[in-house]
Amino acid sequence: GYLIVWRDITKRKLVDDARQRARDELFVLLNAISSAASHTMNLDEFLSESIYQIIYSFRSQAIAIYLVDPNEHAHSEHRLKFASHIGVEPEQIALLNDSVTKAALMGWLEDINEEHPLVLSSSGQVRSDIPINIRQLNFAHIALVPLTVTIQQQVTPIGCLCLGRSEDDPFTQDELIRLTTISNQIAMLIDSDRRRQFAISLSERQRLLRDLHDSVSQKLYGLLTLTEAAQASIEAGVEIIPSEVLDHIGENARQALREMRLFLYEMQPANLDEGLVAVLHHRINAVEGRADMKARLINDDNIRLPKNKETDLYYIAQEALNNILKHAKAKNVLVNLRQTRQNVILEITDDGLGFDMKKVEQGGLGLNTMKERALQMGAKYKMTSKPGAGTKMVVTLAKKGQE
């Protein structure tokens, strides 16, 4: 005989399918967040894009991110920042951004026993240590998910993800597990960005200190040497030509002043939100225009480039202008930013000392840096110079595919 057993596996199949969909959705979210980290220009853009990806996947009506400011003192009331949000009404922002609320959340994050998500419900018991009034925020449930990284085998909070759900449908354990995974990914990317920014800042500070020592300090030392030599000659009764000595002193003083202005300008980060043309105008007016040098910027109207291309062009222009200021002894500088139907062209010309391109030291004057940056952005780079005939640099960037 035969024994036939019929089992209804519909319910189990539905559960398995739901879990598979949740796993697939989690991988899509993680990839989207990683992609946002690679192509966004700053932390604010990354946070906005990340929470936009999250809010609808978890059927939430509002989402916000708090971040711990690493520059604030450990006990500062401003240590936790309300960094980004979507769907949060103005009156809700006032409650969530209240100093008492942020202090309580910071205390919760620092509690080593609270490494897992915390769910607050309008129908549940209110926690006295988290003064968030669910009913006043018009949410049925709020999920607080820590953003943590492990530093020297110690879990360190760097912020908190906050989701608000209006419908009376609690956050499930599976949702909280996925939120924890996503929060860990976001925390890791934020921490990596902060470390990268710190390394860049440290490197730039060291470069500026090195430049200050190699340029301004040397010019001031030259001034001191000239004045001491002149004074010694006068005391020894040696005849000197005052005009020649003063000319040397004046030239060293002017050069030191130029390079000090450049040093102070570079201490201020360039704000490219104003656009490439505006930043170049500001640079020329602040440095070259005040350095006994006639500097002009000629530009076409309506030059539009992606922000990263504008940034690359600006740093190429900055390196070229720095070289002119430090080495060329030019009287006139012309920066020409123009466009044709196919290209955007940056051209910088000076009437300075020039140099023999065959004899210049490999990588000298930052030439390799400018060339490599141009090649990385897909542009053509050309520099021409002759001793006594000035220098001309041209960067040509194709418009095609740049929008």
| Mean residue pLDDT across the chain | 83
Is pLDDT of 394 > 90? yes
Residue 383's DSSP bridge partners are 393
Instruction: Report pLDDT digits (tens) over 228-287.
Output: 888 888 888 888 888 888 888 887 787 777 777 776 666 666 677 788 999 999 888 888
Instruction: Report pLDDT digits (tens) over 44-55.
Output: 888 999 999 899
* Strand duo 80-86 + 118-121: pairing: unpaired
Q: What DSSP character marks residue 289?
A: G
Instruction: Report pLDDT digits (tens) over 130-175.
Output: 777 777 788 889 999 999 888 777 888 899 999 999 888 889 888 8
The answer to whether 284 and 266 are in contact (CB under 8 A) is no
Instruction: Report pLDDT digits (tens) over 289-313.
Output: 777 789 999 999 888 888 888 988 9
Instruction: Report pLDDT digits (tens) over 105-131.
Output: 888 888 765 567 888 887 776 666 777
Highest-scoring range by mean pLDDT, 6-15, 218-227, 275-284: 275-284
Question: What was the pLDDT predicted at 401?
Answer: 53
Question: What was the pLDDT predicted at 366?
Answer: 66
Is pLDDT of 392 > 70? yes
Instruction: Report pLDDT digits (tens) over 185-197.
Output: 999 999 988 888 7
Contacts for 233 with CB less than 8 Å, ≥ 6 apart: 240
pLDDT-wise least confident of 103-117, 202-216, 221-235: 202-216
Query: Minimal CA–CA distance to 33: which of 49, 55, 19, 44?
Result: 49
